[in-house]
Amino acid sequence: MKAKEIWYDDEADVLNVEINDKDYWKSIEIGNGVVIDIAKDGSMTSIEILNASKLFRGEARKVIESAKSVSEE
């Protein structure tokens, strides 16, 4: 599965991985600050990681640094 777009909101500290353009239906929090948005057909539309800077430290911080900044939009 290839991500459609990955962005990071520095102010909210949220990393979002958009998977497709299907219409959002609801969100399910699966724990540890990970939220999955799903469409009515049950497919995932995006994955949100809350408090991303706490999870992605050290070398893993590159994940956040390579994501598109929300402020660039």
Whether the model pTM is above 0.75: yes
CA distances 7 to 14, 19, 41, Å, are 8, 12, 24
pLDDT of 59 reads 87
The rounded average pLDDT for each run of 10 residues, N- to C-terminus, in the chain (73 residues) is 83 94 94 95 95 90 86 56
Give first-to-last CA distance, the chain, whole Å: 25
Place of tokens 């049950």: 42
pLDDT of 47 reads 95
CA distances 50 to 8, 11, 15, 25, 65, Å, are 10, 11, 7, 19, 16
pLDDT of 2 reads 65
